[in-house]
Every structure is written in structure tokens, then in C-alpha cells.
A and B are shown apart, each in its own frame.
Chain A
Amino acid sequence: MTALLLVALGGSLGAILRYGIGRWFVNQGWRPHWGTLLINATGALLLGVITGWGWDKSMAASYPFAGIGFLGGFTTFSTYCVQLADMISKRQYADCIIYLAMTVGCGFLLAAMGYIMTQ
């Protein structure tokens, strides 16, 4: 029950922070997918760091809150896929491939880096 509440609280905070960063990127006149890239890359790095610390194996409250709730809710896969789909339907194939490669590259590299550094 406590874990459920911690996931809910973390998810709320992650979602609202994602919305705030997204709005900020749009207000700067930048395309929203750069905001999503920053969010997903940062979230992957931080999940790598706390996994390296072993938070996912401990029974502590920190992982449901920070890992499953906050970082899970902060990063997003649906918006990423919809943005890619949008680029395809607008025939912006170069943008699509660049965005796809940068997200995947940054995500995996940073998650692995965070994990290896703190392990």
C-alpha cells in the first residue's frame, strides 16, 4: 500500500515536471521533441545511476518513489512514438531518423554509463 502511494506521488511529480519542461521548450520557440529527448535522456541516466546503487533490489521506499514513480512518469515512450509517427506522416524522414537515433543512442549510452559509474 505504501509502495502504491509512493509510485503515485512520484508519477505525479514526474508527469508535471515533464509537462513544465515541454511547455518551456515550446515557449522558447523550439520543437517539442527536443524537450522529450532531454527528458528521456536525463531520465535514463538517472535510472542507470540508482540501479547501479542497487535501489531496485532493496525493499526501501526510494525505488518505488524515484525509479518506478518519478523517473517512470517523467520519461515517456508514447509521446516519443507519436512524435516519430507525426514526422513520418509529414514526410520529414531525415528528422525522424535523426530523432530516433539520438534518443536511442543517448538513452542506452547514458543508462549504461550511469549504471557502470555507480555500480
Chain B
Amino acid sequence: MASSVLRIWVSILMFGALGAVSRYGISLLVPHHDPAGWPWATFLINVVGSLALGVTLALAARNNLSMVWREGVGTGFLGAFTTFSAYSMETVRLVQSGSVLLAVLYAFSSILLGVCAALAGMTAARKKEA
């Protein structure tokens, strides 16, 4: 038992590092220097990550995926890949630079698309297995 707990911890540590590094890599490829501009990197990361988490959790429930993989990919990689702190700060920065409409659009479209992506991922993964 103790060793399986340890394996889950190691998995989350490793996948968490990978998730954060992937996010960092994308932010270098899609730079966001102007605080008044649309934060594309975080936006895409959060929507794609929500889709992938929906798929992962639905597949894990169907296939009895081991906790090491479920927690590693779901909690570790996708949890660390997507981010709420940067999303909040970017919205505050948009408001601060006077782009209030863009801030409202960014805040709500991220959630709306993220939730729809998660629902779509969950449904697609369930259907594929059924």
C-alpha cells in the first residue's frame, strides 16, 4: 500500500513538472508581451487542457486505468499544464490597461469554452468506449 501511494506521488511530481514546462514552452512560442492584448497562450492551454482532462477522466472510469496514470496525467500533467493564477492575473492586467470589454470576453469565453470542451471530451470518450 505504502509503495502505491509513493508511486502516485512520484507520478504527480514528474507529470506536474512536464505540464508546467509544456505551458512555459507554449508561452515562449506564443509570446504575450502586451497586457492589453488577448492572452492566446493561456487561453489555448486552458481550453485544450480541459478537453483532455474530460477525455482522460472518462477513459479512466471506463478502462479502470491505474491511479498512477490517472493522477499522473490528470492531476499532475493537465492540472499543472492549465492554470488559474495566470488567467486571473491576465484578466486584471486587461482591466488595468483599459481593455475592460476584452477582459470580460477573455474571462467568460475561457470558462464557457473550457466547460464545453470538458463536456465534449467526457461524452466523446464515453461514446467511443461504449
The residues of A with any CB-CB pair to B shorter than 8 Å are 3-4, 7-16, 18-19, 22, 40, 43-44, 46-48, 51, 64, 67-69, 71-82, 84-85, 88-89, 100, 103-104, 107-108, 110-112, 115
Contact = CB atoms under 8 A, between A and B. Distances in A.
B50 A78 contact: yes
Looking at chain A's contact residues, the main secondary structure is: helix
Interface in B1-32: 9, 12-21, 23-24, 27
B2 to A, nearest CB: 15
Contact of A16 (B16, B49, B110): B16
A7 B78 CA distance: 15
11 contacts: A8-B21, A15-B76, A16-B13, A22-B75, A40-B84, A40-B88, A68-B20, A73-B83, A79-B75, A85-B119, A111-B88
A90 to B, nearest CB: 12
Interface of B: 9, 12-21, 23-24, 27, 45-46, 49-50, 52-54, 57, 71, 75-76, 78-89, 91-92, 95, 107, 110-111, 114-115, 117-119, 122
B20 to A, nearest CB: 2
